[in-house]
Chain A
Amino acid sequence: MLRMRTIGKIAGSGVAAGAFALVLSSRVSISAQAESWTPPHRMLLTPERALAMVLAKDRKLDYVPGEVLVRFREGVSAAGQQRAMMSLRSKPAPSSLRWVGDVAILSDPSELDATILAAQLNDQPEVASAEPNYLYRTSVTPNDPGFAQRQWNMTALDMPRVWDINPGANDSMIVAVVDSGLTAVSRSYLFQTWNGQSTQTVLVPFGFNPDFTAERIVSAKDFVFWEGPVLDMEGHGTHVASTIGEDTDNAMAEAGIAYRVKIMPVKVCVGYWEVQFLLSSTGFRGTVPEDVGGCPTSEIAEGIRYAADNGAKVINLSLGGPEPSMALREALKYAVGKGAFVSIAMGNEYEEGNPVDYPAAYAAELDGVMSVGALGPSLTRAYYSNTGPHLEISAPGGSDREGGASGLIWQSTILRADSMPGSVMSPRFDRYAEAGFEGTSMATPHVAGIAALMISQGVTNPAAVETVIKKTARFLGAPNPATPGRNQAYGYGLIQPRVALRGSGLAQ
């Protein structure tokens, strides 16, 4: 067990110094004396990282301050790597590097601007490429539950008749959800948090989603918070996993698409509560911004490789960001090479300039990786769903502009009222309820679930899965003469699982 350091111990670091400025500007204060807290598992989220995330949020940075991902040229020795790193002010040793495949994660607390770090390293002949460790975000817009017509998405995909052909895949199929997690334990942990007046140690209960049989969760792995069991403190990963395959036909909650598969929760994203707990345990007095956190590309890349190495045949990535990452691209290639199909959210920023989102943009060049746009209940493009030539397929993602709450995607996830930042001081994550979300995050697991059904039915090659999904899609929108069968608003159109799973007979 690692005893958490107090804020006094990190006060000398550059990150802490930057964060101090931040937190002061955020009208919060830090106690000189914090109640000690012993985490039950070795922490992966360090105070420096947590503060860096707060700093990134405050300065609207899309990367983890002070972190870069470096790929050295082939054949460069440790001495060569050392030479390259000597260009940095802190002159870190090669032994301080953490490796994800052939990509090294370098942390330099003396230079928080990761773009400068990357530029300095890119000038070195030993370095093939260097990039900031970008913070991607989950592509979701949560909404409060509304109880009207639910799961129109399943009807739109004709899922009842799909299940006549393939009832939920089978338990030899593993789908990895690289996301904020899906709680894989039922117990309580002590964490420290800020109750508005003082730091308080609270018992936080966690529990399995009752609509996910515990046996269906396999090889859960946390790459970002701690080395303990995967805990979802946001609900995003749980919602996504529920779309892929929450228990179905059990008179509980909602239905999932591939409801017999095993889910591999791979936690690569942290949010408000993880950062708050960690910083409170270091003496941080106050609350962090509600939407702090994110998904570092280094952990996403690690998570993708882990999923592929541990038998996942489908990987869901309901996350993204506006900056490209060669580390992620390499991880995607690695996963496809291992036989995994990858489904990636297009992004939700159409009304914010419709930027190209990564890693979705890599889908167009990688067979077996698909970018997914979102549709509303009318099966037209959801208002937020990014478009572009790299969009490949569309699936229901929800839209509150079409019927309000009834236009959302309803799935089981943690009860948000139990953990609402700002209104809850002592959260709990052991109660679940149906919740309506919208986003390309919600569209992506539809494709992942359908891919799982297809693979369980024998279409084992990821590139073949992609081909079949494209060929059987229902074209939507206006034809584009330059790209027959495809346009930038819908890609190849609406995914049609029944057509894909039923296949062809002799004559039709």
Chain B
Amino acid sequence: MASFSRGSRCVGPGSLSEAAMNVMHRALIRLVAISCLLVAHAASASAQTTIRVNVDRSTIWTLDFLSPAAIVRAGTILTVVGQRRDWYEVVVPGLDGLKGQTGFISKSLVGDGTAPASSPRRVGPPPAARTPAVRSQRLGFAGFGQFGYTRFAAQNSFQAITGQGGGAVVGGGAEVRIGGLFVGGSIDRYTQTGQRVLVIDREVIGLGVPDTISLVPMTALAGWRFEHPYATPYVGGGIGTVLFKEESVAADPGENIQTRFMSYHAVAGVEFRNGWVATAFEVEYSRIPDAIGVGGASAAFQESNLGGVVGRIKILVGR
């Protein structure tokens, strides 16, 4: 069972030498006292506990026990503001008029899996059953597959050759989580066949000669996850290498291109977890400077960055 501790100790005026109490000191002491009050208030707030509902369709009763304040699902996290015998007093969740008010839920319905977030004494369930906020302190591992759409920075050049300024990317990877920190790697693939062109004064004339462009970015990323029971936002950045290939029909071997470039990445997303499986929606910005722009359509459009923006969905397995 959870226990609670509210408030915080603070150094008070009595601990200072009275001889040293001059006007300056009084002012300082007032400042310290105010700070103490603020810290105490913050400590009080942080002392609030959350519990997890273990039984589906559990009832939270109004404080007078005359009517249900809310029916909640298993897994619902509730904020405990107090307890009375076999009941927790919790903040009523939901969107109706009772939201924000408090009600009672039976301790039998929360059972294992509820634990105070900042209890000074752990008398609750074992660590394995802690809430996500507690789990984030652990080592985790997840593998993922991902797919999305990339919009190239050199969109005029890609538009000229492939007819689109971007295209589909698919890939996968893995990441290790240590508390809020995550470190991972991924590999993606973009490939599209278009046609070789003539660019005259930015007007594009297709020649019907097939031209295939392939990009394989391999990226190492690190970042921070802001754990939340439902959705976990995260941000990160990293570097990588991109394998770039361009091949066309009726080309000499020397006329096809296969080379690598250094890449730089920034990523932001939000992850929704359901047990061992999670879904993440992610946006990645990458920059691959001076990779193109010397010849071909990219020279005509004066575009040299092979990177761009990717919007993708990740399916993760692991914790």
* A-chain residues with CB within 8 Å of residue B213 when the two chains form the complex: 505-506
Partner of A459, one of B157, B198, B292: B198
Interface residue A508 (Cβ < 8 Å from any Cβ of B): yes
Pick from B36-44, B121-129, B204-212, B307-315 the stretch touching chain A. B204-212
- Establish whether residues B250 and A506, one from each chain, have CB atoms under 8 Å apart when the complex forms: no
- Establish whether residues A504 and B246, one from each chain, have CB atoms under 8 Å apart when the complex forms: no
Shortest CB-to-CB span from B39 to chain A, Å, is 60
- Establish whether residues B250 and A164, one from each chain, have CB atoms under 8 Å apart when the complex forms: yes
How many residues of B are counted as interface, with CB atoms below 8 angstroms from the partner's CB atoms? 35
Interface residue B14 (Cβ < 8 Å from any Cβ of A): no
Interface residue B200 (Cβ < 8 Å from any Cβ of A): yes
- Establish whether residues A504 and B196, one from each chain, have CB atoms under 8 Å apart when the complex forms: yes
The answer to whether A503 and B197 touch (CB under 8 A), given A458-B208, A508-B296, is yes
Q: Which of A480-506 contact B (CB under 8 A)?
A: 500-506
Bound Cα distance from A467 to B205, whole angstroms: 12
- Establish whether residues B205 and A459, one from each chain, have CB atoms under 8 Å apart when the complex forms: yes
Interface residue B248 (Cβ < 8 Å from any Cβ of A): yes
- Establish whether residues B207 and A507, one from each chain, have CB atoms under 8 Å apart when the complex forms: no
Interface residue B255 (Cβ < 8 Å from any Cβ of A): yes
Nearest A residue (CB) for B207 = A503
- Establish whether residues B206 and A505, one from each chain, have CB atoms under 8 Å apart when the complex forms: no
* A-chain residues with CB within 8 Å of residue B160 when the two chains form the complex: 506
Shortest CB-to-CB span from B171 to chain A, Å, is 21
Shortest CB-to-CB span from B270 to chain A, Å, is 33
- Establish whether residues B205 and A504, one from each chain, have CB atoms under 8 Å apart when the complex forms: no
* B-chain residues with CB within 8 Å of residue A507 when the two chains form the complex: 244, 246, 257, 291-292, 294-296, 298
Bound Cα distance from A503 to B195, whole angstroms: 9
- Establish whether residues B207 and A505, one from each chain, have CB atoms under 8 Å apart when the complex forms: no
Interface residue B161 (Cβ < 8 Å from any Cβ of A): yes
> Which of B157, B207, B255, B296 counts the most chain A CB atoms within 10 A?
B207
Nearest B residue (CB) for A500 = B198
Q: Which of B224-256 contact A (CB under 8 A)?
A: 244, 246, 248-251, 255
How many residues of A are counted as interface, with CB atoms below 8 angstroms from the partner's CB atoms? 19
Q: Which of A425-465 contact B (CB under 8 A)?
A: 457-459, 464
Partner of B296, one of A457, A464, A504: A504
Nearest A residue (CB) for B197 = A503
* B-chain residues with CB within 8 Å of residue A164 when the two chains form the complex: 250
Nearest A residue (CB) for B248 = A505
* A-chain residues with CB within 8 Å of residue B176 when the two chains form the complex: none
Bound Cα distance from A503 to B251, whole angstroms: 11
The answer to whether A505 and B246 touch (CB under 8 A), given A165-B209, A457-B208, A464-B205, is yes
Shortest CB-to-CB span from B238 to chain A, Å, is 25
- Establish whether residues B207 and A508, one from each chain, have CB atoms under 8 Å apart when the complex forms: no
Interface residue A55 (Cβ < 8 Å from any Cβ of B): no
Interface residue B104 (Cβ < 8 Å from any Cβ of A): no
- Establish whether residues A503 and B209, one from each chain, have CB atoms under 8 Å apart when the complex forms: yes
* B-chain residues with CB within 8 Å of residue A503 when the two chains form the complex: 196-198, 205, 207, 209
- Establish whether residues B298 and A506, one from each chain, have CB atoms under 8 Å apart when the complex forms: yes
* B-chain residues with CB within 8 Å of residue A508 when the two chains form the complex: 246, 255, 257, 294-296
Q: Which of A141-162 contact B (CB under 8 A)?
A: 161
Interface residue B297 (Cβ < 8 Å from any Cβ of A): yes
Interface residue B300 (Cβ < 8 Å from any Cβ of A): yes
- Establish whether residues A501 and B297, one from each chain, have CB atoms under 8 Å apart when the complex forms: no
Which positions in A face B, CB cutoff 8 Å? 161, 164-165, 457-459, 464, 467-468, 471, 500-508
Which positions in B face A, CB cutoff 8 Å? 154, 157-158, 160-161, 196-200, 203, 205-209, 211, 213, 244, 246, 248-251, 255, 257, 291-292, 294-300
Query: Nearest 5 CB-CB pairs, A to B?
Result: A508-B295, A503-B196, A164-B250, A504-B296, A503-B207
**A-B CB contact pairs (8 Å), 18 listed:** A165-B249, A165-B250, A457-B209, A458-B207, A464-B200, A503-B209, A504-B196, A504-B198, A505-B211, A505-B213, A505-B248, A505-B296, A505-B297, A506-B158, A506-B160, A506-B292, A507-B257, A507-B292
